């Protein structure tokens, strides 16, 4: 998990985002939600949870935090082989699943998308 967290931190910093430490966001309920990694761009927050093997319960855990914090939320599956039901649930809940290979390029691909189409990225597309 250390490498993935470091890759996210470096990518976020290069993209000009603020790395939030500790990686917690206070939700609408007033509860502090802990994520593996959080970056912010003004009021917009990017939250990541890292799991060894991704299961449906992991998606549900992240989804609850997503709903309360309104953060743009992602999960990283360290094994690179998330459970099919978990992937489907994540898709239904609007949570992107990343593999370790995709983590390093996550923010650089966002920057490229923004340069090509800033309105689409700001709209979350």
C-beta of residue 14 within 8 angstroms of C-beta of residue 39 = no
Q: Residue 42 has which token pair?
A: 């003004």
Confidence of residue 115 (pLDDT cuts 50, 70, 90): very low
118 pLDDT above the threshold of 70: no
Query: How much is the pTM?
Result: 0.83
Among 3-7, 65-69, 88-92, 120-124, whose mean pLDDT is lowest?
Answer: 120-124
Structural domains of the chain sorted by starting position, each given as residue range(s) with its CATH number in brackets: 2-122 (3.40.1350.10)
- Render pLDDT for 5-60 as a digit per residue (tens, 0 to 9): 888 898 888 888 899 999 999 999 999 999 999 999 888 899 999 999 999 999 99
Would you call the peptide bond into 22 cis, given omega within 30 degrees of 0 as the criterion?
yes
**Residue 121 pLDDT > 60:** no
Mean pLDDT rounded to a whole number for the chain: 87
Per-residue model confidence (pLDDT) at position 125: 45
* Helix/strand/coil percentages in the chain, nearest 5: 45, 25, 30
Q: What percent of the chain has pLDDT over 70?
A: 86
Residues 47/10, Cβ–Cβ less than 8 Å: no
Q: How far apart are CA 26 and CA 30, in angstroms?
A: 6
């Amino acid at each position: 998990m250390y490498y993935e967290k470091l890759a996210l931190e470096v990518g976020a910093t290069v993209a000009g985002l603020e790395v939030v430490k500790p990686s917690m966001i206070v939700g609408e309920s007033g509860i502090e939600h802990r994520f593996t990694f959080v970056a912010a761009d003004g009021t917009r927050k990017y939250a990541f949870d890292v799991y060894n093997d991704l299961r449906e319960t992991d998606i549900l855990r992240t989804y609850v935090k997503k709903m309360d914090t309104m953060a743009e939320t992602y999960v990283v599956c360290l094994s690179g082989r998330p459970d099919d039901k978990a992937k489907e649930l994540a898709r239904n809940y609007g949570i992107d699943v990343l593999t370790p290979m995709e983590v390093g390029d996550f923010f650089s691909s966002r920057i490229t998308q923004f340069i090509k189409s800033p309105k689409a990225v700001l709209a979350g597309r």
